[in-house]
């Protein structure tokens, strides 16, 4: 079965209580359940992980570039999107496609969120639809992987 790995960055484990007016009321567990259900409907095996530790996030990206890694990824690097050349470089070294996802639309928010270091190597970006951003990204990846 086609495997998709979803990697969520810092503070996304606080979903549900963190600034719900921006990020909604779904928890990270709700997000993971939504991804698994959407994946099942699309015939994808979806695994969702979250960390606040950049080294862990980098090691997941490194492992994903090795043989036996997933067939595609969805990355929400959260704040690292706007700060981390290291995450950008590890994402650039992936050999499978990835979609960058955001719950909010960073381009409609503070100016420091208008730069993404990590989107440049993505096959696409989905932002602003809350948890649906992940569902839409899974649909896009399923279509691309079927090509």
Interface residues with ligand DQA (CB under 6 A) are 11, 76, 78-79, 81, 102-104, 106, 113
In angstroms, what is the minimal distance from the CB of 82 to ligand DQA?
6
Task: CB nearer to ligand DQA: give 76 or 84.
Answer: 76
In angstroms, what is the minimal distance from the CB of 115 to ligand DQA?
10
In angstroms, what is the minimal distance from the CB of 62 to ligand DQA?
21
Task: CB nearer to ligand DQA: give 40 or 49.
Answer: 49
Sheet holding 124-127, edge to edge: 44-50, 2-8, 72-76, 98-102, 124-127
Determine whether 98 is an active site residue: no
In angstroms, what is the minimal distance from the CB of 86 to ligand DQA?
16
* Environment class of 51 (CB within 10 Å of its CB; exposed 0-12, middle 13-18, buried 19+): middle
What lies within 8 Å, CB to CB, of 135 at 6+ separation is 34, 35, 38
Given 57, 98, 102, 134, the catalytic residue: 102
Contact 47, 32 (CB under 8 A): no
Task: CB nearer to ligand DQA: give 40 or 112.
Answer: 112
Determine whether 102 is an active site residue: yes
Alpha helix segments (H runs only) across the chain: 20-23, 28-42, 54-65, 85-92, 132-146
Task: CB nearer to ligand DQA: give 10 or 71.
Answer: 10
What are the residue numbers of the active site? 23, 102
């Amino acid at each position: 079965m086609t495997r998709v790995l979803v990697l969520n960055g810092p503070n996304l484990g606080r979903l549900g209580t963190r600034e719900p007016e921006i990020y909604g009321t779904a928890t990270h567990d709700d997000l993971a359940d939504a991804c698994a259900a959407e994946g099942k409907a699309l015939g994808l095996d979806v695994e969702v992980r979250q960390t606040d530790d950049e080294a862990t996030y980098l090691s997941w990206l490194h492992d994903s570039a090795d043989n036996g890694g997933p067939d595609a990824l969805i990355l929400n690097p959260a704040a690292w999107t706007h700060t981390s050349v290291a995450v950008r470089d590890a994402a650039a070294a992936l050999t499978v496609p990835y979609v960058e996802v955001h719950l909010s639309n960073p381009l409609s928010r503070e100016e420091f969120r208008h730069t993404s270091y990590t989107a440049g190597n993505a096959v696409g970006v989905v932002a602003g639809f809350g948890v649906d951003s992940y569902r839409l990204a899974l649909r896009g990846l399923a279509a691309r992987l079927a090509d």
